[in-house]
Chains A and B, each alone.
Chain A
Amino acid sequence: MADEVVLLDFWASMFGMRVRIALAEKGIKYEYKEQDVFNKGPQLLQTNPIHKKVPVLIHNGKPVCESLIIIQYIDEVWKDKSPLLPSDPYQRAHAKFWADFVDKKVYQVSKRVWTSTKGEEREAAKKDYFETFKILEGELGDKPYFGGETFGFVDLSLIPFYSWFYAIETFGEFNLEAECPKIIAWAKRCLHKEIVAKTLQDEKKVYELVGQLRKLQGLE
């Protein structure tokens, strides 16, 4: 019986991009269904009633929610090729810790920057943003990837945020490469991977989206 894999997603979602990269790494064929996150459709609401968010992976009719949980699921089901997590338990725990850090911190600090008003609020948001990325730079160290010699779970968790850097830098009025050069160097290295380059979204399109989101929130 052929596997039926459906992904409910939104083009600009960093969380969705993670899953798209994971599916591509494993060579899994799937149906991509673009969601209108401003006007959520019945399938999304039915498959993720608790959070009502993308991405949702539907495998043979059964939904899996939460991007990092989806990626672990993909890794466990399609276990014979391209492992997404290390096999050693300590390395796995280490990778999960840092992916969890990305989830807990990076999204929030990013959002605070692009939803901030100019002045004190923005400066405070930027300070936390740089601090977060400096911690990530510390963890990266001299390694080419967070996963070591190869692109791994943490790299996968973080790289989609690259699509949002331009928007955040522009609204925040700063240059991330100046503050965190190692992160930009790491991102460019990841972009050499065809799957990553194909999955990441056009930063100017994301910038326009953030502009629209700001208007919706009365910030423009």
Chain B
Amino acid sequence: MAKNDVKVLGAWPSPYVMRPRIALNIKSVNYEFLEETFGSKSELLLQSNPVHKKIPVLIHGDKPICESMIIVEYIDEVWTSGPSILPSDPYDRAIQRFWAAYVDEKWFAAMRGLRSAQGEERKAFLDQVTEGLALLEEAFGKCSKGKAFFGGDRIGLLDIAFGSFLGWLKVTEKVNGVKLLDEAKTPGLVKWAERFCADAAVKSVMPETEKLLEFSKVLAAKMKGAPPPKN
């Protein structure tokens, strides 16, 4: 398949953008990565995702597909000759989808809250993040059934959903001076994280923590530059 038949609109720091890229790598599909300029949205983005105006967007031929986890499932359904990303059993699929939604809607929301929170509020978000990781440690035990990944022997849907946040998790640890993934509390996840980041499908798209840390400072400065909210 011609490389320019598959395009991903995105940006290197975004965990959401990583997801379709990992999925395409798993399927050995060549694609063109079109990077958005930080702080502005291209015509192509606005045209292909007019509803949310957000990255990532997968453009397959001339068809845009939006929302990172929907894109991952699409990739799994189209490129059937590569390894499967979703399990075949409907119940296992439901469990993976459930935890992927939890990571997005609850856990990462708390991680984002940490970014600008102070004092008591910060402690509350930190507690939520840690509690979430304890739940995910338990989920890992159940889903992996003793194997390397949530998806079993190979990276699957939930590995992609949660693993894409590992870069930002490391940045959060550094910025807040805390250990979130801990050998004592989340031993399964610690080892899983190492394996995930080392995987061939992930390595080339996972940003270096130092680079991400620098970017987070730029992002924080930009956020501070915004007018203060009305009290």
Contact = CB atoms under 8 A, between A and B. Distances in A.
B63 A69 contact: no
Contacts of A12: none
Contact of B101 (A59, A66, A97, A101): A66
Contacts of A92: 73-74, 77
B65 A76 contact: no
Interface string A69-109: 11011001100000000000110111011001100000000
B71 A93 contact: yes
B227 interface: no
A80 to B, nearest CB: 13
A69 B98 contact: yes
Contacts of B67: 96-97, 100
A93 B65 contact: yes
B91 A93 contact: no
- Helix, strand, loop or mixed for chain A's interface? helix
Given A50-B102, A89-B74, A72 B94 contact: yes
Contact of A64 (B65, B74, B78, B94): B94
| Chain B interface, >50% SS class | helix
A94 B51 CA distance: 12
B126 interface: no
Interface residues of A, number: 22
B70 A93 contact: yes
B51 A100 contact: no
A69 B99 CA distance: 11
B63 A90 contact: yes
Interface of B: 51, 60, 63, 65-67, 70-71, 73-74, 77-78, 90-91, 93-94, 97-98, 101-102, 106, 135
Given A66-B101, A94-B65, 20 more contacts: A50-B135, A64-B91, A65-B98, A66-B97, A70-B94, A72-B93, A73-B93, A76-B90, A76-B93, A89-B74, A89-B77, A89-B78, A90-B65, A93-B71, A93-B73, A96-B67, A97-B67, A97-B70, A100-B70, A135-B51
